[in-house]
């Protein structure tokens, strides 16, 4: 459901009108009922509270099943919409944890997360700055070590994977190590059958202007990034670079027939370096994917958009793209698992 004070519930409701097959909302039934009530009349789904997938399968067409998670705060409808609230952060985190449990135990095949607000998450006392870190910690059984995951932002023209995610720029630079870059390349390569269908051509962006210009503008490319690429290539990973970050995304952009991309994905060193190029191409088709989880997870590439809440102007296109990509990845993963079982 995402943050109940943001646009998550309403974009889910608008998407559900035309494509809600085989899905259930982890969240607050009352909040989802409010979102449905604000839809234009005609074709409004019927919100039904459920407590298991068997109940979902028995619902008549036109139903929107909502599975309320443990730990959901009371009276979320009383919160001011379009504003940061501790209870909203609690609700968002509870909804994500519930969805993770459904996926981790095999009840659900994958999850699509509506936007949460990082400040609300912090007010709720959560130690995680965003979805990626929360999923990294919660995507394994209790007591297990956190997974090594990476964030990929993708649209039809460009895909980027990040070495570091939600950090200050200063700490992100410090976190760019040989191990971090090499691990990112391994995760990107290993996950490629799901999103690429073959061994991917990976471009690696430099950290500094002109990729350091031979050490004139910084030596991280020489000391860290190039050795990581060499190690990856030694493992059979088709990685290239480091390339100047101001041109590598243009080289990787795939817009045939006039501009076929040289690469399938770009590994970027920090959050804005990798996300700005994808978002510049348009928010409607952008999808956030968490690589390295034992299940499929996608998300729209926009935030809670507090200024749009309740106006009827929130666009569900990115959410719809996230669901479509999740379904595609689930299908590919199911074929791969079936083939492995057969062998």
The full set of domain ranges for the chain reads: 1-149+292-343, 156-281
> Taking 90 as the threshold, does the pLDDT of residue 6 lie above it?
yes
Structure tokens at 110: 């994958």
> Taking 80 as the threshold, does the pLDDT of residue 89 lie above it?
yes
Residue 141 or residue 83, greater confidence: 83
pLDDT band at 339 (very low <50, low <70, confident <90, very high): low
CB 300 within 8 A of CB 288: yes
Q: What percent of the chain has pLDDT over 70?
A: 97
> Taking 60 as the threshold, does the pLDDT of residue 182 lie above it?
yes
- Give the pLDDT score at 343: 53
What does the pLDDT average to over 13-23?
89
Domain 1-149+292-343 is in which class? alpha beta
pLDDT tens, 204-258?
999 999 999 999 999 999 999 999 999 999 999 999 999 999 999 999 999 888 8
Structure tokens at 127: 């130690």
Closest CA to 267 of 277, 259, 281: 277
pLDDT tens, 278-292?
999 876 788 999 999
Confirm whether 1-149+292-343 and 156-281 share one CATH topology. yes
What does the pLDDT average to over 83-109?
95
CB 64 within 8 A of CB 45: yes
pLDDT band at 337 (very low <50, low <70, confident <90, very high): low
- Give the pLDDT score at 335: 67
pLDDT band at 40 (very low <50, low <70, confident <90, very high): confident
> Taking 70 as the threshold, does the pLDDT of residue 341 lie above it?
no
CATH of 156-281, one of 3.40.30.10, 3.40.50.2300, 3.30.70.20, 3.40.718.10: 3.40.718.10
pLDDT, the chain, mean: 92
> Taking 90 as the threshold, does the pLDDT of residue 326 lie above it?
yes
pLDDT tens, 117-164?
999 999 999 999 888 889 988 888 878 888 899 999 999 899 999 999
């Amino acid at each position: 459901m995402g943050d109940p004070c943001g646009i998550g519930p309403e974009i889910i409701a608008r998407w559900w009108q035309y494509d809600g097959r085989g899905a259930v909302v982890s969240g607050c039934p009352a909040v989802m009922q409010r979102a449905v009530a604000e839809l234009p009349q005609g074709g409004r789904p019927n919100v039904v509270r459920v407590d298991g997938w068997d109940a979902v399968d028995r619902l008549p067409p036109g139903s929107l099943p909502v599975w309320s998670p443990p730990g959901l705060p009371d009276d979320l409808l009383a919160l001011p919409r379009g504003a940061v609230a501790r209870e909203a952060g609690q609700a968002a985190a509870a909804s994500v944890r519930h969805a993770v449990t459904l996926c981790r135990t095999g009840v659900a095949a994958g999850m699509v997360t509506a936007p949460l607000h990082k400040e609300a998450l912090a007010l709720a006392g959560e130690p995680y700055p965003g979805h990626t870190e929360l999923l990294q910690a919660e995507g394994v059984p209790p007591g297990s070590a956190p997974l090594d995951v990476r964030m990929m932002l993708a649209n039809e023209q460009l895909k980027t994977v990040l070495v570091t995610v939600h950090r200050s720029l200063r700490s992100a630079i410090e976190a760019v190590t040989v191990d971090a870059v090499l691990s990112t390349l391994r995760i990107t390569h290993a996950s490629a059958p799901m999103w690429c269908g073959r061994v991917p051509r990976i471009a690696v962006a430099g950290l500094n202007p002109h990729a350091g210009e031979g050490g004139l503008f910084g030596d991280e490319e020489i000391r860290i990034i190039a050795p990581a690429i060499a190690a990856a290539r030694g493992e059979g990973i088709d990685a290239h670079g480091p390339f100047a970050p101001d041109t590598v995304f243009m080289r990787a952009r795939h817009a045939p027939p006039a501009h076929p991309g040289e690469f399938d994905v770009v590994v970027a060193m920090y959050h804005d370096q990798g996300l700005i190029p994808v978002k510049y191409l348009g928010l409607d088709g952008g999808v956030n994917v968490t690589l390295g989880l034992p299940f499929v997870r996608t998300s729209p590439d926009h935030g809670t958009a507090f200024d749009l809440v309740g106006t009827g102007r929130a666009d569900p296109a990115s959410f719809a793209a996230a669901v479509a990509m999740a379904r595609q990845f689930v299908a590919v993963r199911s074929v791969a698992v079936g083939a492995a079982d057969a062998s």
